[in-house]
């Protein structure tokens, strides 16, 4: 049996009001008042479920929760002294909200029975009121904590429709990734239990990479951002999804919009491709190598950034290397190959094939990193630029190259520039 502590579980009760009420249950149990603990425990469970309905209605606009609340209100108005609605609330949470597993329903129904025999005298019995055993009450308390009190209201898998509807509403208001991340974490991600999160990830994947219609296409951007939020903040859950859903993710849909969405995603998350079946990986590589495919997707084939840098330096890539520059720089720093990155920057500028490209590569590859180049890299830069008229003959080269000269003399005041007449 797994470890369990009532004291520790109390701290995990989600609703503050429920937590205060449960302290009365705990106190009764500790003092040996097992009948009182059982009667109060049922009341706490029912109260907490009503609180969860209010949360689902007021915060998440769950129509099912509102429907159940209205049914309870109608029942109380019709028969104020009846507790019939209490008997039905467990079943409604189970059938309408998918909140409980079947075994949890059985445990809670048993709690209700124990509450009944503990609170109501039995005329035909010698002991008019039943006194449950300590071990039985402990088991009831554990079941109530695990299946109700320590669960978020969002435990229901029905909440997925609410989340997607909410994202559709805010997509035109929250435009940046940072805003969407902050919003989703606060409102949903920190409150979604793992089993619901797994279903949510699978549904996200389906909407982003498998379905192509007007409604889904309109939300693909925010859905992609939310998937990135999950990868960033709940990566272990995402990895579990990938391991468990190998066949599902490997079923590729290759319509243009879906194919492009998948490739753009893999550029940012290259580790994901290792979870596909081998046939699907071969298909993705074939798409990448197609002559009509954008060259920026080549990075997907390289798990190690050093291998991608070597590919760029040994391949005629100068017209598109800047596309993945942020990824290359970031991972070069993370994997301690910044020297190779700086060599790549020097190479990219010196291979420029037009004045426009030279302007662009200097601004992107040289200017921001000039202070990080060592003297060997700076010498390679002026040698390469001195031999390429697209670098030395362009309009802006005078001011640009003066920056390079300053960087060189800062490292070597006696550097001889006489051999580099063009530069």
- Report pLDDT digits (tens) over 281-325: 999 999 998 877 788 899 999 999 999 988 888 875 555 457 788
Tokens 């402990």 belong to residue: 138
Whether 24 and 12 have beta carbons less than 8 Å apart is answered as no
Separation CA 244–CA 247 (nearest Å): 8
Tokens of 286: 């074939």
Angle among Cα 389, 392, 398 to the nearest 5 degrees reads 160
Contacting residues for 163 by C-beta, under 8 A, at least 6 apart: 188, 200
**0.85 surpassed by pTM:** no
Burial of 401 (0-12, 13-18, 19+ CB in 10 A): buried
What integer pLDDT is reported at residue 16 of this predicted model?
92
- Domain 6-154's class? mainly alpha
Q: Could you tell me the pLDDT band of residue 75, with boundaries at 50, 70 and 90?
A: confident
Whether 337 and 374 have beta carbons less than 8 Å apart is answered as no
Asked whether residue 265 carries a pLDDT value surpassing 90, the answer given is: yes
- Report pLDDT digits (tens) over 140-175: 999 999 889 988 887 766 788 889 999 999 999 999
Burial of 256 (0-12, 13-18, 19+ CB in 10 A): exposed
Whether 99 and 16 have beta carbons less than 8 Å apart is answered as no
CA distances from residue 106 to 94, 338, 409 in whole angstroms, order as listed: 11, 60, 80
Using alpha carbons, select from 42, 37, 35, 46 the residue that is nearest to residue 118: 35
What integer pLDDT is reported at residue 1 of this predicted model?
47
Tokens of 390: 């697209």
Domain with CATH 1.20.120 in the chain: 6-154
Separation CA 240–CA 178 (nearest Å): 25
Structure letter (DSSP) for residue 364: I
Q: Could you tell me the pLDDT band of residue 240, with boundaries at 50, 70 and 90?
A: very high
Angle between helices 220-233 and 194-209 (to 10 degrees): 140
What integer pLDDT is reported at residue 2 of this predicted model?
57
Neighbours of 185 (CB within 10 A): 16
Separation CA 140–CA 330 (nearest Å): 53
Asked whether residue 117 carries a pLDDT value surpassing 90, the answer given is: no
CA distances from residue 31 to 118, 154, 171 in whole angstroms, order as listed: 17, 34, 54
Half-sphere exposure for 58 (CA within 13 Å, toward CB): 6
Separation CA 266–CA 289 (nearest Å): 15
What integer pLDDT is reported at residue 157 of this predicted model?
62
Whether 111 and 140 have beta carbons less than 8 Å apart is answered as yes
Give the 3-state secondary structure of residue 133. Answer: coil
B/e letters for 45-61, b = 16+ CB within 10 Å, e = fewer, are bbebbbbbbebbbeebe
- Strands (E) located in 122-177: none
Using alpha carbons, select from 50, 55, 10, 20 the residue that is nearest to residue 152: 55
Contacting residues for 313 by C-beta, under 8 A, at least 6 apart: 343, 344, 347
Tokens of 358: 């030279």
Asked whether residue 104 carries a pLDDT value surpassing 50, the answer given is: yes
Give the 3-state secondary structure of residue 17. Answer: helix
Percent of the chain exceeding pLDDT 70 equals: 95
Separation CA 302–CA 235 (nearest Å): 21
């Amino acid at each position: 049996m797994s470890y369990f502590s009532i004291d520790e579980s109390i701290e995990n009760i989600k609703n503050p009001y429920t937590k205060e009420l449960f302290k009365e249950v705990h106190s009764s149990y500790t003092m040996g008042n097992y009948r009182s603990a059982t009667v109060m425990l049922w009341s706490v469970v029912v109260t907490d479920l009503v609180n969860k309905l209010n949360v689902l209605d007021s915060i998440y606009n769950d129509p099912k929760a509102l429907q159940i609340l209205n049914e309870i209100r109608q029942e109380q108005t019709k028969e104020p002294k009846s507790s019939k609605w209490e008997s039905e609330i467990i079943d409604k949470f189970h059938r309408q909200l998918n909140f409980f597993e079947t075994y949890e329903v059985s445990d809670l129904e048993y709690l209700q029975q124990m509450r009944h025999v503990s609170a109501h005298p039995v005329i035909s019995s010698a002991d008019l009121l039943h006194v449950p055993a300590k071990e039985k009450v402990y088991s009831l308390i554990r079941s109530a904590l695990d299946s109700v009190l320590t669960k978020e209201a969002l435990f229901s898998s029905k909440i997925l429709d609410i989340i997607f509807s909410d994202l559709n509403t805010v997509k035109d208001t929250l435009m940046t990734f940072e805003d969407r991340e902050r919003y989703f974490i606060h409102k949903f991600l920190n409150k979604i239990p793992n089993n619901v999160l797994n279903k949510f990830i699978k549904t996200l994947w389906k909407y982003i990479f498998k379905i192509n219609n007007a409604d889904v296409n309109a939300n693909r951007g925010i859905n992609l951002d939310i998937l990135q939020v999950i990868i960033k903040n709940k990566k272990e859950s995402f990895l579990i999804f990938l391991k468990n859903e190998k066949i599902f993710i490997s079923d590729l849909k290759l319509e243009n919009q879906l194919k492009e969405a998948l490739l753009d995603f893999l550029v940012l998350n290259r580790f994901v491709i290792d979870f596909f079946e081998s046939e699907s990986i071969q298909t993705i590589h074939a798409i990448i190598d197609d002559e009509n495919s954008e060259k920026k997707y080549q990075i997907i084939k390289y798990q190690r950034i050093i291998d991608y840098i070597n590919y760029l330096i040994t391949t005629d890539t100068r017209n598109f290397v800047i596309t993945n520059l942020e990824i290359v720089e970031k991972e070069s720093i993370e994997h301690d190959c910044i020297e190779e990155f700086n060599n790549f920057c020097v190479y990219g500028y010196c291979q420029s094939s037009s004045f426009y490209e030279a302007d662009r590569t200097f601004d992107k590859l040289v200017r921001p990193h000039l202070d990080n180049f060592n003297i060997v890299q700076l010498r390679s830069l002026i040698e390469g630029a001195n031999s390429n008229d697209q670098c030395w003959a362009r309009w802006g080269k005078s001011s640009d190259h003066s920056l390079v000269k300053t960087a060189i003399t800062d490292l070597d005041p006696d550097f001889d520039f006489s051999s580099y007449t063009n530069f």
